[in-house]
Amino acid sequence: MSVEQPDVLDGAIAPAENSALFGHEAAEAFLAQSYRSGKGHHAILIEGPEGIGKATLAFRFANHVLSHPDPALAPALLAEPDPNSAVSRQITSGASHNLLHLTRPVDEKSGRMKATITVDEVRRAGHFFAQTSGTGNWRIVIIDAADDLNRNAANAILKILEEPPKRAMFLVLSHAPGRLLPTIRSRCLPLKLSALNDVDLSRALSHLGLDPGAKGQAVLERSEGSVAEAIKLINYGGLDIAEALADILASSGRSARQSLHKLADVLSGKDSEVIHGFFTSHLESVVAARAREAALAGDGTRAERLARLAGDIQERLRVSQAYNLDKKQTIIALIEDVLAAL
């Protein structure tokens, strides 16, 4: 029996349950060989774009370690997890005493994921390590994702990383490692994953039973090597959102204003969290791309203006959420600022 995870996209498989990983063979080989050598680092920073398989790799490696607690006897390569093994059953059900998955908690009142990983969640790691493992096995904490740690939680994690317990391992996931505390990064061994190429992305979508249909090429191009982005494009109307934004940025006048309000209505509607997140990430990518174009064209002033705006988008959204500001007006203001900067 699997544990319900509200942050798993429709059409996706929870990382703890996913038996397949595509495009990261070199990273898998590195982890297996590093562990087998007995000289593996106690904290590994698995970094790369969102939705490319970082969490799946982390659970896959955790399964490998817990299935082979003696590094010297571990296989040279990570094998596909055996769903019938005791370790796999415990991991997929969330019942493993040797693995803790730290992620954003669910708000009991709303039933939705909170905006950050709180210090209370990190304290669970302290209790987790304080318990004695009945098997003497490794104790593994997956932080998914460290980008979501608030300041107090990040400092609490840092204290544990500075003096890790014996036979403890941290798998720290990050979509944007540059935003992490430098002291956290310095205590981790970085393992960079790249976005999937079209072949591996197509294989991953096929594994999920997803068919992009006639818009397959558009999905591959706009997803930028991310399975999560491809799912949003296919199952959540992401292609329509991206096309609507492109039309707004390319037009002007009353029709553009009407289109802007229509798009903001869709993005601020009930149960729109996924597509809202897709839009803001897509908007950030579009603005960053326009900044690069301006720089290449020799327009340094516009490039700097756009680059600064791209960097501010996520912070403005966090402030809006923290103060419960009107979501529609926040979206409109963001797009209007982009139009002004162009």
pLDDT at 17: 95
Kindly state the greatest CA–CA separation across the chain. 69
Confidence of residue 1 (pLDDT cuts 50, 70, 90): very low
User: Does residue 328 have a pLDDT over 50?
Assistant: yes
What Rg value do the Cα atoms of the chain yield, rounded?
Answer: 21
Closest CA to 226 of 79, 9, 62: 9
Amino acid at 83: P
Residue 283's CB: how many other CB atoms inside 10 A?
Answer: 23
Query: Both tokens of residue 274?
Result: 């996924």
What pLDDT digit, counting tens, does each position of 288-309 carry?
999 999 999 999 999 999 999 9
What pLDDT digit, counting tens, does each position of 197-234 carry?
999 999 999 999 998 888 899 999 999 999 999 999 99
The DSSP H or E segment spanning 191 is strand 189-192
Q: Between these two residues, 270 and 1, which has the higher pLDDT value?
A: 270
pLDDT at 10: 94
Beta strands 43-47 and 189-192 are parallel
Mean pLDDT for 36-55 is 96
Confidence of residue 110 (pLDDT cuts 50, 70, 90): confident
Spell out where 6-131 has E strands.
43-47, 99-102
- Reported pTM: 0.89
pLDDT at 318: 82
Residue 4's CB: how many other CB atoms inside 10 A?
Answer: 9
The DSSP H or E segment spanning 192 is strand 189-192
Burial class (CB in 10 A: 0-12, 13-18, 19+), 78: buried
Sequence-separated (6 or more) residues with CB below 8 Å from residue 245:
263, 279, 282, 283, 286, 335
Mean pLDDT for 100-119 is 88
User: Does residue 2 have a pLDDT over 60?
Assistant: no
What pLDDT digit, counting tens, does each position of 119-133 carry?
999 999 989 988 866
The DSSP H or E segment spanning 190 is strand 189-192
Closest CA to 101 of 131, 139, 132, 68: 139
Distance between CA 89 and CA 93 in Å, rounded? 6
Q: Measure Cα distances from 129 to 97, 108, 135, 335 in Å.
A: 10, 26, 14, 46
DSSP 123-174: HHHHHHHHSPPTT---EEEEETTGGGB-HHHHHHHHHHHHSPPTTEEEEEEE
Return the SS3 of 184. helix
Return the SS3 of 243. helix
Q: Between these two residues, 57 and 341, which has the higher pLDDT value?
A: 57
Q: Confirm if 89 and 46 have CB atoms less than 8 A apart.
A: no
Closest CA to 327 of 270, 283, 289, 288: 270
Q: Where are the alpha helices (DSSP H) in 137-296?
A: 151-162, 182-186, 198-207, 216-223, 227-235, 238-250, 253-267, 273-296
